Amino acid sequence: MDSIDLTGIQSKILQMFNEISQEILDAFFPSTTPQSLQPTGEGLINETFLLQLQNQDRWILQRINTALFQNPKALMENFVAIACHLQASHQYPLQVIHPHPTCFGHYHFEDSNGHCWRVFPYLEDTFAPVALPSPEQAYEAAKGYGAFFKALSDFPPEQLYQPLPGFHDTVSRYISFKAILEKDPVGRLNQVTKEVQLLLKAEQYAQEVHNLIQKGILPTRVTHNDTKAGNVLLHRSNGSAAAVIDWDTVMPGTVLSDYGDMVRTFVPDRVEDAPIPGFQLRKEVWQALDTGFLETAGYQLLPAERSSLKLGAKWIVTEQALRFLTDYLAGDVYYKTKHSEHNLERACNQLELLRLLER
């Protein structure tokens, strides 16, 4: 199937929730009645809902994608460890989104249908700058990500469970990409020969970052690994950073990926799946992002990390283009899509962004 009906999926999930809602509520909120439930967020992996109880308390309820995150218990142990570390840090100025436990003391709940759920506090009067953040929003968001990075700088990376091993192992992703090229499982290869050639040429960035890591020039850090614009919350009142969210991918990594994903999602003048060609870089946003991130994280960085940040941007944009095109050639098996060309549009936009970064 080339495309997924998101409205249909949400409707089915709401129907499923209605059938088992008391089971989930009894686990997280015993003797409580729900008032409303609605889909929220723009994540491509987990299903997220805003839950309001009769006492007017609001919570974020998520169904964990266990096809991707196959060990929810270990994943949530990461969340708790990170939350406790941030709460104990005198350096961390943002709110900590600590997961809400079940009445059994666990941080996830498996329902009778085998689905895994988790609950987080809902931060009132905040928003995620998901669409074309302004320079001011980019500055505050980057300050938030920098503060997150700084506060976790003394957390031993080896103590974290790795929910997605090889998540930023772009060299291995290229191996998988070339295997897909040979198989062409859904017969789409002839439509994307230009894009394939551009990606094969860009493999140099993945190899360069890989070499820097292998030689120990880039140190292993605790990194967020998904620092898109939508994963930081800003206060509605003054626009300052309120919280860094979505810790599913917090793992050992390199700061280049966090910086690169900020550039990838903040700096372009249109969203990643816009069908209109002609990306432009918003240089004032990039400057604001640089200033904000280095203001909070800068002194933690080694000279080799600072000098490689822009390489990180080209690397992560390459990797994301690779992921989108791989999924397109595989038949859209990973990302949610709205139509048959959705992943191809995403890949083309990333390749255009890479061209601008190179120029």
Q: Give the pLDDT confidence of 289-335 residue by residue, as tens digits.
A: 999 999 999 899 999 999 999 999 999 999 999 999 999 999 999 88
Residue 29, phi then psi, degrees to nearest 5 = -135, 75
Report the alpha-carbon distance of residue 52 to residue 50 in Å, rounded: 7
pTM: 0.89
Report the alpha-carbon distance of residue 7 to residue 117 in Å, rounded: 21
Return the pLDDT at 271.
Answer: 81
Reading the block at residue 117, the tokens are: 């759920």
CB 80 within 8 A of CB 98: yes
Report the alpha-carbon distance of residue 219 to residue 11 in Å, rounded: 45
Return the pLDDT at 4.
Answer: 40
Return the pLDDT at 334.
Answer: 85
CA angle 181, 258, 160 (to 5 degrees): 90
Using the 8-state DSSP alphabet, how is residue 343 labeled?
A: H
> What domains can you pick out in the chain, each with its CATH number?
6-122 (3.30.200.20), 135-358 (3.90.1200.10)
Reading the block at residue 134, the tokens are: 């302004």
Using a 10 angstrom Cβ sphere, with 0-12 exposed, 13-18 middle and 19 or more buried, the burial of residue 36 is exposed
| Positions in the chain whose pLDDT score sits under 50 | 1-6
